Amino acid sequence: MAQQKQRLVLIGNGMAGLRSVEEVLSHSSDQFEITIFGSEPHPSYNRLQLSSVLQGNQSFADIEINQPDWYQEHQINLRTEETVTQIDTNTKTVQTDQHGELSYDKLVIATGSNPIFIPFPGADKEGVMAFRTINDCKQMIEAAKHYKKAVVIGGGLLGLEAARGLLNLGMEVDVVHLADRLMERQLDQDAAVLLQEELTAQGMNFFLGKDTSELVGGERVEGVCFKDGTQLTADLVIMAVGVKPNIELAKNSGVTVNKGIVVDDQMRTNIPDVYAVGECAEHRDTVYALVKPLYEQAKVLAKAVCGIGGSVYRGTTLSTQLKVSGVDVFSAGSFMSGGGQKALTVFDELNGHYKKLVFDGDQLSGAILFGDTREGMRLLQLVIEQKELTNEEKQELLQGSSSNHGVAEMSQAEMVCNCNAVSKGTIIEAAQSNCLTTVDQIKENTKASSSCGSCKPVVSELLTYMESDNFNEKIEVTSMCECTELTEEEVVEELQIRGLSSIHEVMSALDWSSNNGCKTCRPALSYYLGMIHSEYHLTHHLKKNAEQQEDGTYIVTPPYHGGVISVDQLQRLSSLTQRLHVGYVVMTSDQRLQLQGIKEEHLSTIWAHLDMSKHSLEGYHVQPVVTSHSSNCRCDLYEIQSLATRLDQQFERLQVPSSVNIQVKCNHAERLFNDLSVFWTRVGQEIYIDTSLFYVAEHTEETFEIVSALLQYYRQTARFLQSMEEWITKVGVVHVREIVLDTEFREQLLEQLQEDAFLNKKAIAIEETIM
């Protein structure tokens, strides 16, 4: 009997909500019966491209995201021109303005933003409008046929794009802005002046520092008056002063709101099974209005809705790379120097190119590019990574140009489309696999250039490069192994979605080319199955703590944690070794005792006498923690050994992607770094990953929590065989710090770790009872 589908309802047919649905379908195409409510009469469209339509570069059809056939193909019930007016979270139903009622199992609120419409006196006159929808765009095009003088209130990106479109339609355009420079949130004074000069040359007129007092005229607007007594004539007034989250529906339905609809790191609201995404959502006190964060939120939301764990949204480092009325502009991070930050700038007056790099010490904290933005993604990555740069590297960044960092020099991992996170390698692979030769084909296949469109020149340049004689790049193999075309990430998602619990089930369900797999996929599958099903390793690989040697004897390592053995344990061990004539007792390099030369018939006696439970010797584990203490150090030896013991016990029997060596030492000991090291110092306990300082904890309990959460996050997110050093390099130390040092998320990691340990011990008890 087929399982009944859950009902997924999406309120809002905009870019963030629709991307959430697309992500849900990519994970599970038949899990939900999907209904989408949209207030506008149109199917989904790219709101970012409205200015391009206004300027005459694209048609309305060109900016549609999905055709009506797409909704039908995926059996989605699209209800346009129907607005949800109430959510009853008790009965889990929604009501609409057409007297409709629909129940839901999962509800996603993606109501977006409303344009800020300042209620100036006269703002209700004919000819005063916002620029937000297709209908607004059509009204502006129609107005330009009959009127010639337009005033745009707002000198931000939207206002400038509206002004450029109205110029193209043959209108005379004045831009009014309250601030003293254009795009003050994205540009510094110098870049803003360059932009104003360029746009003035295109025909725009600017009135900066102007505070509007009223709109005058008869039935239709005829002018704009300012508080300083001056005024401008106008037949059409466009308000483009910003947007505000559309939260009234959520607020009236008992969903917690602040600036936006308050969500957690999985985009969940305070109401069970109700999520929010996009411009209406407030995450960690921030409401995002750029497309990249909204798409990142959609990825996390979709996994949460589908019941796929391990994915969280931690916020986005903001950047802007846009073509403002024909001028390329990029900014990222904190680009205003001061407060200890220093700036390096260069201005190529001949070509009209401006570059500003802001450094906090040796780290790039922000950047502005004007005129030539092709280095933008490279700079953004440095801002995110917070990499320490040498003076030579700083100068190289300052002097760099498109000639020395064109598409040929880009790594395959480098982002081409920041909005949709599409890398150079992804585009090359898609083009070669599907014989793609045009930007539109790349857009349809990968979504690169489908959002803000600023990366179209780079996509075009990349396609030209691929057709040249200089192109000889090979695509890095991304599949898990030769047995499957799926990547490791895709395999793990399928394990979770389908509930696969054995290697045989995986290979059968996912169409493995080999029934037995290979030396690459079998251990990887074993690891991932063990992470998803805590009892897996114990059920399939449960063994006693003994390793057979070539001569037929065994080695047993008693579980003495932290390198500490009590007098009672030592006496019991001594008595046992004498009675059974154990060959050798060896002190290992990781400060443990090993019993060697044990005969097989003596194993059960040793296990019982030393109270040793079963565990899996398969895969990789956190190795016994090594301690060190100097005689001339004032560090508390008990604290050091206590921390080592607790860490040993915490991760006993739990698998990790790759073997992890931990050391806990006083500061006076020789600093030889392991995968993870803790050093006692006068100012606190320094925690290192490889040779990089991760954090300085104030006390032992904090150290224990930080190290435990760090290792758990490594367990949850690293790929199989990826060392801690490789993992931290790939995901970024800044990102991992944000995760582990956040109190709420650290608690979640520690709770998950305790649950894994509990299930592990429970499985051991069950297995020992059976056997």
Contact assessment for residue 687 and residue 677, using Cβ atoms and an 8 Å cutoff: yes
Burial class (CB in 10 A: 0-12, 13-18, 19+), 175: buried
Whether residue 647 is found in the same domain as residue 722: yes
Does residue 453 sit within a domain? no
**pLDDT score for 432:** 85
Phi–psi pair at 134, nearest 5 degrees = -60, -40
Tens digit of pLDDT for each residue in 633-679?
667 778 888 898 899 888 887 888 988 999 888 875 666 788 899 98
CA distance 752 to 739: 14
Domain carrying residue 202: 128-241
655 exposure class (CB count in 10 Å sphere: 0-12, 13-18, 19+): buried
Residue 481 and residue 525 in contact, taking contact as beta carbons nearer than 8 Å = no
Q: What is the pLDDT of residue 402?
A: 41
- Does residue 316 sit within a domain? no
User: Both 489 and 588 in a single domain?
Assistant: no
Q: Indicate whether 529 and 553 sit together in one domain.
A: no
585 SS3 class: strand
> Is 483 marked within a binding site?
no
Among 372, 368, 370, smallest CA distance to 380 is for: 368
The region that residue 253 occupies, defined by phi over 0 for left and psi between -120 and 50 for alpha, beta otherwise, is: alpha
The answer on 82 and 181 residing in a single domain is: no
CB atoms within 10 A of CB 336: 14
Cα dihedral sign, 555-561-564-568: negative
Burial of 32: CB neighbours in 10 Å, binned 0-12, 13-18, 19+: buried
Residue 435 lies in a domain: no
Separation between Cα atoms, residue 729 and residue 686, nearest integer Å: 19
Q: How far apart are CA 370 and CA 190, in angstroms?
A: 10
pLDDT tens digits along 116-134: 999 999 999 999 999 989 9
Q: Are strands 221-226 and 128-130 parallel, antiparallel or unpaired?
A: unpaired
> How many other C-beta atoms are found inside a 10 Å radius of the C-beta of residue 153?
25
Residue 466's nearest CA partner among 513, 512, 434 is 434
Return the higher-pLDDT residue of 198 and 614.
198
Q: 478: Cβ–Cβ under 8 A, 6 or more apart, which residues?
A: 429, 487
pLDDT in tens, 335-393: 777 677 888 888 988 888 999 999 988 888 899 999 888 788 788 878 877 778 888 88
How high is the pLDDT of residue 770? 46
Q: Are 245 and 287 in contact (CB under 8 A)?
A: yes
Per-residue pLDDT, averaged over 291-301, amounts to 91
**Do 755 and 639 belong to one domain?**
yes
pLDDT(230) > 90: yes
Query: Cβ(463)–Cβ(457) under 8 Å?
Result: no
C-beta neighbour count of 391 within 10 angstroms: 8
- The more confidently predicted of residues 232 and 533 is 232
Looking at the fold, whether 133 and 174 belong to one and the same domain comes out as yes
Tell me, yes or no, whether 121 lies in a domain.
no
Q: Which residues of 203-242 are buried (b: 16+ CB within 10 A; e: fewer)?
A: ebebbeebebbebbbeeebbbbbbeeeebbebbbbbbbbe
Distance CA 45, CA 67 (A): 9
Q: Answer yes or no: are the C-beta atoms of 478 and 487 closer than 8 Å.
A: yes
Q: Is 118 helix (H, G, I), strand (E, B) or coil?
A: coil
Predicted confidence (pLDDT) per residue in 686-734, tens digit:
999 988 888 888 899 999 999 999 999 999 888 888 889 888 877 777 7
Residues 193 and 281 both lie in one domain: no
225 assigned to a ligand binding site: no
pLDDT-wise least confident of 20-29, 54-63, 84-93? 54-63
Q: Which of 225, 241, 257 is the last residue of a domain?
A: 241
* In the predicted structure, residue 768 carries a pLDDT above the cut 60: no
The amino acid that residue 438 corresponds to is: T
Q: Give 187-239 as a DSSP string.
A: --HHHHHHHHHHHHHHT-EEEET--EEEEEESSBEEEEEETTS-EEE-SEEEE
The C-alpha atoms of residue 122 and residue 213 are separated, in whole angstroms, by 10
Average pLDDT rounded to a whole number, residues 208-214: 95
Mean pLDDT of 568-579: 81
* pLDDT bracket for residue 737 (50, 70, 90): confident
Same domain, 641 and 742: yes
For residue 407, is it within any domain?
A: no
Q: Considering its fold, how many domains does the chain have in total?
A: 5
Instruction: Give the C-alpha separation, 289 to 298, whole Å.
Output: 14
List the CATH number of the domain containing 724.
3.30.413.10
d(CA 397, CA 399): 6
The CA distances from residue 720 to 108, 480, 522, 620, in Å, are: 34, 10, 11, 10
The strand pair at 6-11 and 106-109 is best described as parallel
281 or 469, greater pLDDT: 281
Note whether residue 58 is domain-resident.
yes
418 lies in some domain: no
Shortest CA distance to 379 belongs to which of 451, 387, 371?
387
Tell me, yes or no, if the pTM score tops 0.75: no
- Encoding tokens for residue 35? 């209904």
Confidence band, pLDDT 50/70/90 cuts, at residue 535: low
Q: 26 near 305, Cβ under 8 Å?
A: no
Same domain, 578 and 679: no
Together in a domain, 631 and 755: yes
- CA end-to-end distance (rounded Å), the chain: 37
Indicate the pairing of strand 128-130 with strand 319-324: unpaired
Quick one: average pLDDT of 65-81? Answer: 92
| Domain identity same for 143 and 109 | no
Q: Which of 285, 305, 325 is the last residue of a domain?
A: 305
Highest mean pLDDT among 529-543, 561-575, 694-708: 694-708
Are 733 and 696 members of one domain? yes
Residue 25 is part of a domain; what is its CATH number? Answer: 3.50.50.60
Domain end among 557, 588, 618: 618
Is residue 81 in some structural domain? yes
- Residue range 161-192, pLDDT digits in tens: 899 999 999 999 999 999 999 999 889 999 99
CA distances from 1 to 33, 95, 105, 694, 699 (A): 17, 32, 21, 53, 57
d(CA 448, CA 438) in angstroms, rounded, equals 12
The whole-chain average pLDDT of the chain stands at: 85
